[in-house]
Amino acid sequence: MNTEIPVISLQRLPIYLNYLKSLPAERTYVSSGSIAEALGMGEVLVRKDLAYTSAVGRPRVGYITKELISALEEFLCCNSRRNAVIVGAGALGKAILGYGGFHNYGIEIVAAFDSNPEKFGISIAGKHVYDIAEAESVLKKLKAELAVICIPAEHAQEAADRLINCGIRAILNFAPVLIKAPDGVAVRHIDVAANLAILSSMIEN
């Protein structure tokens, strides 16, 4: 684990990476100042965040764009290859199964799980849907380390416990409930409704 980098900095690395990849090929150099300006952040913050990677900026010219992209990709394990599974083949699970953006980060979605027998054995976006009761053997066979939970809140902890017991080491949880996991298992939570509520409370009246 990149224990030295605060999560708050880690969260910004994909934003820098997306921005750098959007630059035209002729931008050989990029400065922390120009990144900061383009993304509406402070320059000191950008420089501090990037210092966690192996990229080295040069006085006056900044970073070599290609090198900085490589350093960020290395830090974010984009060149490694990790397998992920989706738990819950409902509407959200289907949307994530069909999303192509994981490849850029070296992540492949390899299968889905569901508890509804009608879904066992079907294929969504080319991915097989397995019975969640088979998680142990399937996860072992597919060498999956990451899981995305897309099931109702009341079943999320139970599913997480099962996945962790079967060797899953990181969970992205869409259920609107806090998932508890032992040390060594990373959990992130995306609550879509809460995000919209936060925005709503930011609207000026």
- What is the smallest separation between the CB atom of 204 and its own copies, expressed in angstroms? 4
Longest dimension (CA), the chain: 62
With respect to its own copies, which residue has the nearer C-beta, 56 or 178?
178
With respect to its own copies, which residue has the nearer C-beta, 65 or 173?
173
Site membership for its own copies, residue 29 (CB under 8 A): no
Q: How far apart are CA 111 and CA 99, in angstroms?
A: 13
- What is the smallest separation between the CB atom of 169 and its own copies, expressed in angstroms? 5
* Residues 32/55, Cβ–Cβ less than 8 Å: no
Q: How far apart are CA 86 and CA 149, in angstroms?
A: 6
Residues 142-161 that bind its own copies (CB under 8 A): 145-146, 148
List the structure tokens of 170: 């990181």
Q: 57-63: long-range contacts at Cβ-Cβ below 8 A with a sequence spacing of 24 or more?
A: 57/31, 57/32, 61/29, 61/31, 62/29, 62/30, 62/31, 62/32, 62/33, 62/34, 63/29, 63/30, 63/31, 63/32
Site membership for its own copies, residue 14 (CB under 8 A): yes
What is the Cα 162 distance to its own chain's centre? 21
Q: How far apart are CA 16 and CA 35, in angstroms?
A: 8
- What is the smallest separation between the CB atom of 58 and its own copies, expressed in angstroms? 25
Site membership for its own copies, residue 177 (CB under 8 A): yes
Pattern 74-113, its own copies, x by CB under 8 A = -xxxx-x-x-x-----xxx-xxx-xx-xx-xxxx------
Q: How far apart are CA 152 and CA 168, in angstroms?
A: 19
Site membership for its own copies, residue 201 (CB under 8 A): yes
With respect to its own copies, which residue has the nearer C-beta, 46 or 171?
171
Interface ranges with its own copies (CB under 8 A): 1-2, 7, 10-11, 13-15, 18-19, 22, 39-40, 75-78, 80, 82, 84, 90-92, 94-96, 98-99, 101-102, 104-107, 145-146, 148, 169-172, 176-178, 180, 184, 186, 188-205
